[in-house]
Chain A
């Protein structure tokens, strides 16, 4: 058992750093990654054969992206790297992994979950129209496939990704019709002192804003979306400006998102206990700063354990790997551990400031109109969900799901879950942590019935 190789799920910055750390200690980890090429989301690599230069793909992050990609490539032969591998279920000691239409049961003793994050969205009227993407989805289209989601694009939402993606599209030649931030300007001013501590990260954010402004892109803060318009595809967005005036802006594509949610389904299936995180406003699996969880042999690294960004993911990936090594009896380098934890703490401070600067507009979800589609997989409106919660006595989110079907479709609540929790909590006038969280159920993502063992 002790000889069983450690397993890492995810080959983003956290997973790659964890793998490199384990290899340096003489181990040969199995690295399972859903993507065809490792790198994760922020450093996602285009398919083999695409030749766009790093500077064009990753901008300021080009050097980091190249270093991580080189690091992963350099591990070839020293790790058991399995791309295109979906881990869709797990229990203590075994993972179910689907790759190339075949399923394999992978036994493990020690496991690092580096499952990353996804876009956090809040539905608004018209959000299911063709031409509307999440910010992350829009970025992947550009970075991975080299294609834009449209020609005349509106970017809506809040958070650093809003400005980054808008900037990347502008640079790629798309017309950015507007960047509409739900966060009020005053929030950013309030967060300024703490943001300055972010140093280079903060400076990059300012640079994107300045570059957008220099291109004449209209930027607005403190807005509220009203509705996306269009018959067969989005043709315009109506929104309320900070001064209360209603505006309409024509577009042929729209990208939106309100920060990120951690991908926690595997941690849930692994029976790691969850706690409500008030900063991220999400239930998160419990973990120590070392990455250790209450389940022996299970470690969390990167955004999957709580959103902190790519730099923190690298640090926490290394930290979790060192914890794993220590638990396997390897000697710990105390200085290195202390340096990693200091780095993580610094980023956590900056991260809190970001939440102040770009607050999650929970009010949008709480006040969602009854006829807005909340769960797009099952076509459940906010009104139907509220009725299920009220008339049918469902004071808990899984109960409301059972009665309404909200969160029961293909995405299993990964898309609508965060907003649905707020809709329910607001309808019942309860704090969001009291209404619970959607329980994880295998498969983590859909798998074909015809899978072969």
Chain B
């Protein structure tokens, strides 16, 4: 059986970015076919830590993150469920004076973006959070940051997009794709053919595979952040936290489980599977206890990981293709794409339909990884 579909926009990838793009395009009346190799939110969008965090991002990401945060607040209105989003606050902990200096400098740097951070010294932070251990000497609190349940977000966007008329196909891996200059032609493993004037590449860790088909070879690596969760405990830790320099990040959900991540699992990009690694779990357990000693007696009940695409400069590729008209990319979110997922739908729909977006994205131009054409600058990066 071979089925043929025609749409204004074809989307490859059913993560949060793809499903949000489908929804935004439908709001503006464009017809959409979304092709997802597995199930929507089955990869990085669905198995990440769940942090909805602006603090600590590269400055270039802040305009996107600010706009996305505004969408998180309205999630129930957008997709019909809040996906357990809570503005719990996020603390970035300092374990040394150098860390504190870094936090102070960051607070000044983000002021122009409207991101309010509160610095807490040794006494203040322990007075406010009596569960913190001696390892933390201070921190920076972003009150409006928080967390959500990653398992729910992409499927919620997918359902909303479907309800709005998007044609979302799961278990539909794209095996052929080409552009004849005016139309993209895609074919899935099952023989479904899709013809569209525009193509959105939101294929996550596999985004480079789409890009390279259109002559844009970019160095996208993969990571598998190693994640752990404890049994439910009495709810005592409202804000979630990370530490300067990385290492471990921890949050508790109101039903009591403590979710923490640190280190790397094993990513098998070809087989679409990722495996947590015991040594990473054990190390994250040690670091977590050092920061929150009362977790010493908690039990670990599960570990997991997922595959995330990483760019060499740790920020994603976002924007129009430099080789192919009508092609738009957003991939390689480098381990911190969850919070940006919703806004990518707004930005990509604007790029497709208006040719531009009010949110600055120049820093994410794919051109930064392409051979430099003579006589042309790379933009301000």
Contact = CB atoms under 8 A, between A and B. Distances in A.
B60 interface: no
B326 interface: no
B338 to A, nearest CB: 15
B302 interface: yes
Contacts of B289: 449-450
B261 interface: no
A392 B282 contact: no
A449 B302 contact: no
B292 to A, nearest CB: 9
A408 B302 contact: yes
A451 B231 CA distance: 15
A361 interface: no
B285 A449 contact: yes
Contact of A403 (B151, B277, B303, B304): B151
Contact of B300 (A396, A399, A446): A446
A392 B159 contact: yes
A96 interface: yes
A408 B304 CA distance: 12
B378 interface: no
B297 A448 contact: yes
A405 B322 CA distance: 44
B275 interface: yes
B276 interface: yes
Given A412-B302, A442-B281, A448-B299, A402 B151 contact: yes
Contacts of B295: 449
Contacts of B275: 91
A441 B298 contact: no
Interface string A419-453: 00000000000000000000001110011111101
Contacts of B232: 409
Contacts of A409: 231-232, 301
A441 B231 contact: no
Given A392-B159, A399-B39, A451-B285, A410 B299 contact: yes
A445 to B, nearest CB: 9
Contacts of A448: 296-300
A89 interface: yes
A442 B46 CA distance: 19
A396 B232 CA distance: 26
A91 B277 CA distance: 9
Given A446-B299, A451-B285, A89 B278 contact: yes
B190 to A, nearest CB: 16
Contacts of A408: 302
Q: Mostly helix, strand, loop or mixed at chain A's interface? A: loop
B198 interface: no
B42 to A, nearest CB: 8
Interface string A387-427: 00000110010010011000011101000000000000000
Interface in B7-42: 39, 42
A312 to B, nearest CB: 32
A105 interface: yes
Size bin of chain B's contact surface: 20 to 34
A451 B302 contact: no
A423 B230 CA distance: 27
Given A402-B151, A451-B282, A451-B285, A446 B276 contact: no
Given A103-B282, A412-B302, A441-B303, A450 B276 contact: no
Contact of B296 (A91, A392, A443, A449): A449
B299 A449 contact: yes
A96 B301 contact: no
B301 A403 contact: no
Contacts of A441: 276, 302-304
Contacts of A402: 46, 151
Nearest to A443: B300
B155 interface: yes
Interface in B278-318: 278-279, 281-282, 285, 288-289, 295-304
A382 to B, nearest CB: 20
A447 B151 contact: no
A453 B42 CA distance: 33
A447 B275 CA distance: 18
Contacts of A91: 275, 277-278
Contact of A447 (B159, B288, B297, B299): B299
B300 A447 contact: yes
B252 to A, nearest CB: 13
Interface in B106-160: 151-152, 155, 159
B301 A446 contact: yes
Contacts of B297: 448-450
B231 A410 contact: yes
A171 B103 CA distance: 71
Contacts of B152: 403
Contacts of B151: 402-403
A442 B275 CA distance: 10
A451 B288 CA distance: 12
Nearest to B168: A393
B301 A410 contact: yes
Given A451-B282, A453-B282, 14 more contacts: A89-B303, A91-B275, A96-B278, A105-B278, A105-B279, A402-B151, A403-B155, A412-B301, A441-B302, A442-B281, A443-B303, A449-B289, A449-B297, A450-B285
18 contacts: A89-B278, A91-B277, A393-B155, A399-B42, A402-B46, A403-B151, A403-B155, A412-B302, A441-B276, A442-B276, A442-B278, A443-B301, A447-B300, A449-B230, A449-B288, A449-B289, A449-B295, A449-B298
User: What 6 A-B pairs come out closest when comparing CB atoms?
Assistant: A446-B299, A450-B296, A402-B151, A96-B278, A89-B278, A449-B285
Interface of B: 39, 42, 46, 151-152, 155, 159, 230-232, 275-279, 281-282, 285, 288-289, 295-304
